[in-house]
Structure 1
Amino acid sequence: MSQDPTDVDVLVVGGGQAGLAAGYYLRRAKLDSAILDASTVPGGAWQHYWDTLRLFSPAAYSSLPGRPMPHQAGQTYPDAAHVVGYLAEYEKRYELPVHRPVQVRTVENSDGDGLLVRTDSGSWRARALIMATGTWSRPFIPALPGRGSFAGRQVHTRGYRTAADFTGQRVVVVGGGNSGAQIAADLAGHAAAVRWTTLRPPRFLPDEIDGRALFEIATRRVTGDGPRISDLGDIVAVPPVREARDAGRLTAHPMFERMEPDAVVGEDGERWPCDAIIWCTGFRPALGPLTGLGLRGGGGRIPTDGTRALADARIHLLGYGDWTGPASATLIGVGRTARTAVNEIAGLLR
């Protein structure tokens, strides 16, 4: 006999920074809730980042609601391990109802006006749902001619850990965003040669802009005031990136158009032999469990008003970037959209 579903007012799928911010506001709203996290330990995607990754902002400007991130000794910009410790302490401090490891399989309409969420360890029934799964589980690599024939190592950002793994190798880094710039800079001095390739010339933000300034810019954009971040640039010039750029070790080359077993080949036929390719080509939202609800619009994206799915007011998407709220994919920015989402859900349930 199957076990009856566990009933809650609000179910949060994902126990990273977005899920914890939602949990904080759900607790304050006194809504019965649970957070389902696929990971075995706290920390969200931060537990998987490469060793030298640093936040864009000092700890004081990288906090979730209610609890300032403590300073990391000897570091102006905290590393990923410090963030993992902070998130673990955060969920413990607020006694957030995190259940792990739980893999959510499907979200379906239940009897009445509820949602039935099926997982690998039982079912849940909720009156509203916050998807906070992020993107880490869905890395994107473009389909290029010859990619399957390349005999060297191919690693996505998701699998990059340390530059020492590529010591003495000729490495191509693909991607003109922050990850591409940071990893290309990280490899300098370890790899025998690094070729950074981008679809368009990289645009560095002014050196004085860090995560705090980005959040302030995003905040002004809520009311339509001031420039968009994308108007200013794409890459935050954190100290290692700035140092590599100023030393001439971070020069971008046009994107290659095809691959061979031991090289990449540009549009002009130039061949660059390499041993490894690191794809810093981004991620896609991990929203597979919602597939059966028919929420997607044109282009495959779920249309939203803020965080709320237009096709179903019971469902909110939190932490997927500007699509679901300015700066909502950042530690400092997700709190604002989490508060708004929980306020809307509380109003709906009342």
Structure 2
Amino acid sequence: MESLIGSFMGGGREAECKEVHDPLSGSLRGLCTSWKEPLVIPGPIIVGGGPSGLAVAACLRAKGIPSVVLERAHCIASLWQLKTYDRLRLHLPKKHCELPLTPFPSCFPTYPTKLQFVAYLEAYAREHGVRPRFNEAVVAAEYDEALGFWRVRTATQGALVEKREYLCRWLVAATGENAEAVAPELEGAADFGGPIVHTSSYKSGDAFRGKRVLVVGCGNSGMEVCLDLCNNAAKPTIVVRDSVHVLPREMLGLSTFGLAMGLLKWLPLRVVDALLLLLARLVLGNTAKFGLRRPQLGPLRHKALAGKTPVLDAGALALIKSQRIKVRPSGVKRLMKHGAEFADGAAEEFDAVILATGYRSNLPRWLKVYAAKEVFGEKGDLGGGWKLGNKGLYAVGFTNRGLSGVSLDANRIAGDIEQGWKSQLEKIKVTSFACSHAPPSRRISNFTK
């Protein structure tokens, strides 16, 4: 058992199924018939090497439980490192975004930059001995009822041929709600004469200096991209098709998020929503006057029921008020060679289009659910849960609470797995004792039962 754990945690030679001499995997002997010889993992497999995956791995390691983190990219936190714009900062104060066991450095500002956050994550992985297996994209994971194990199949990122199969008792989905960019197909896109890019490919407004840019999407990313474009002498127009809550990043000298969380300890959600809207009106004015209609539900309730995160204003609203950022209140009907036509019949010329249309989870693509009703909610999502059914399946980073919810989920998952881990260790002791005292002719049969 110790040698097997060491091989995975210490980077030693990988143990294949036919070589494993571990009571946890003894019952699998002779049953590893599909694909190449699977690798039996004594602890959990964590799919995703972002903040959520790192947090779970660290919490498990603190309890003495080894894990294997599979990451499809060549680095940790690939969304942050490879698919975010340069000016990005944490939208919430650092104290609400730190991972379990390790706070942010005191020298970091209240809202760390992208580079600071990535540095924190890299230091976190080193401190807690988390070494993901990079360039391994999970293409399928399904529960094998006969074995009582999860089969996890991977491929080299971008390859079509599966590379390896793993077997494990516990599986943690940590790929998050933002694994894949959502880029809608716009009519006339092929005829448009300028670039059309998703925010996952946008780095800086410097590339759009002097250009008329249409930004589709009015969430936090869309607003910040418009702000960045203005700071680089571009001329942005933002499409605000739906209602949106815009809140100041800070109220009464406190972060809006921190204030809301504090009030929720004492007041009902509807009352907190009403107070937030009142304060926002006092600080920002009536945003509807500038084309930013508010939803009928309050910001917290809207987030809980619709999953729509309020925009925390970092300066874009002032530019909207001064009309340096134009607002289009209707959706794009079609693109033309030199511009766009909108649903209300208006048309305008543009040099480029940026899609701030968000991301979605890739979980349904690779997770072959053993019982959909136990895992997915009515909307096809995970229903906000961290423990999914009773087959050793967990999820972290899917609770609509962003980084602020990761620590809570990670600790819960590690604690739940710890109970099963201790149970398996007790079985190992009993099996080892039985094998050592059994006649030679019976030791093999005892070992594999």
State TM-score, norm by structure 1: 0.86
Q: What is the aligned partner in structure 1 of residue 10 from structure 2?
A: none
Structure 1 residue identity aligned to 2:366: P
Equivalent pair of 2:76/2:122 in contact (CA under 8 Å): yes
Q: What is the aligned partner in structure 1 of residue 94 from structure 2?
A: 59
Cα distance in structure 2, aligned partners of 1:72 and 1:39: 30
Q: What is the aligned partner in structure 2 of residue 343 from structure 1?
A: 415
Q: What is the aligned partner in structure 1 of residue 405 from structure 2?
A: 333
Matched ranges for 1:174-323 at <5 A: 174-208=216-250, 213-214=256-257, 217=260, 225-226=268-269, 227=273, 229-230=300-301, 234-238=310-314, 240-241=315-316, 243-245=318-320, 247-254=322-329, 255-287=331-363, 288-291=365-368, 293=370, 295=372, 297=376, 301-304=380-383, 306-310=385-389, 313-322=391-400
Which of 23, 38, 41 aligns to 1:7? It is: 41
Q: CA 1:99–1:250 in 2, change beyond 3 Å: closer, same or farther? A: same
| Deviation at residue 202 of structure 1 after TM alignment | 3.8
Structure 1 residue identity aligned to 2:413: A
| Deviation at residue 189 of structure 1 after TM alignment | 4.1
Deviations 1:130-181 (A, max 9, x none): 1111244411123443334333211111111010111122100011110010
Which of 138, 161, 169 aligns to 2:203? It is: 161
Structure 2 residue identity aligned to 1:99: R
Q: What is the aligned partner in structure 2 of residue 140 from structure 1?
A: 182
Q: What is the aligned partner in structure 1 of residue 31 from structure 2?
A: none
Q: CA 1:298–1:15 in 2, change beyond 3 Å: closer, same or farther? A: closer
Cα distance in structure 2, aligned partners of 1:216 and 1:30: 37
Equivalent pair of 1:61/1:211 in contact (CA under 8 Å): no
- Match of 2:311, SS? coil
Structure 1 residue identity aligned to 2:102: R
Cα distance in structure 1, aligned partners of 2:67 and 2:360: 27
| Deviation at residue 301 of structure 1 after TM alignment | 1.6
Q: CA 1:37–1:333 in 2, change beyond 3 Å: closer, same or farther? A: same
Which of 209, 213, 221 aligns to 1:171? It is: 213
Cα distance in structure 2, aligned partners of 1:262 and 1:302: 39
Q: What is the aligned partner in structure 2 of residue 35 from structure 1?
A: 69
Equivalent pair of 2:377/2:383 in contact (CA under 8 Å): no
| Deviation at residue 266 of structure 1 after TM alignment | 1.4
Equivalent pair of 1:107/1:293 in contact (CA under 8 Å): no
Q: CA 1:297–1:321 in 2, change beyond 3 Å: closer, same or farther? A: closer
Deviations 1:21-72 (A, max 9, x none): 1112212333231111122122332112111111123434431111111245
Structure 2 residue identity aligned to 1:114: F
CA RMSD, 1 decimal? 3.0
Cα distance in structure 1, aligned partners of 2:175 and 2:247: 28
| Deviation at residue 220 of structure 1 after TM alignment | 7.3
Comparing 244-253 and 264-273, the one that deviates more: 244-253
Q: CA 1:72–1:78 in 2, change beyond 3 Å: closer, same or farther? A: farther
- Match of 2:175, SS? coil
Q: What is the aligned partner in structure 1 of residue 286 from structure 2?
A: none
Comparing 208-217 and 244-253, the one that deviates more: 208-217
Q: What is the aligned partner in structure 2 of residue 152 from structure 1?
A: 194
Cα distance in structure 1, aligned partners of 2:262 and 2:110: 24
Q: CA 1:95–1:314 in 2, change beyond 3 Å: closer, same or farther? A: same
Q: What is the aligned partner in structure 2 of residue 86 from structure 1?
A: 120
Cα distance in structure 2, aligned partners of 1:52 and 1:283: 19
Q: CA 1:40–1:211 in 2, change beyond 3 Å: closer, same or farther? A: farther
Q: CA 1:175–1:302 in 2, change beyond 3 Å: closer, same or farther? A: closer
| Deviation at residue 223 of structure 1 after TM alignment | 10
Cα distance in structure 2, aligned partners of 1:128 and 1:151: 50
Comparing 214-223 and 251-260, the one that deviates more: 214-223
Deviations 1:239-282 (A, max 9, x none): x4355345443442212222222211112321111111111111
Comparing 291-300 and 79-88, the one that deviates more: 291-300
Q: What is the aligned partner in structure 1 of residue 160 from structure 2?
A: none
State TM-score, norm by structure 2: 0.68
Cα distance in structure 1, aligned partners of 2:264 and 2:388: 21
Instruction: Choose 1 or 2 for highest CA Rg.
Output: 2
Q: What is the aligned partner in structure 2 of residue 26 from structure 1?
A: 60
Higher helix share goes to which structure?
2
Structure 2 residue identity aligned to 1:175: G
Cα distance in structure 2, aligned partners of 1:252 and 1:57: 26
Q: CA 1:223–1:149 in 2, change beyond 3 Å: closer, same or farther? A: farther
Deviations 1:53-93 (A, max 9, x none): 111234344311111112456x5422111111100000100
- Match of 2:169, SS? strand
Equivalent pair of 1:72/1:78 in contact (CA under 8 Å): no
Cα distance in structure 2, aligned partners of 1:252 and 1:211: 29
Comparing 173-182 and 139-148, the one that deviates more: 139-148
Equivalent pair of 1:163/1:190 in contact (CA under 8 Å): yes
Q: What is the aligned partner in structure 1 of residue 147 from structure 2?
A: 112
Q: Which runs of no fewer than 5 residues in structure 1 stay unpaired?
A: none
Structure 2 residue identity aligned to 1:229: L
Equivalent pair of 2:235/2:325 in contact (CA under 8 Å): no
Deviations 1:180-214 (A, max 9, x none): 10001110143542111111244311342599642
Comparing 286-295 and 13-22, the one that deviates more: 286-295
| Deviation at residue 297 of structure 1 after TM alignment | 4.9
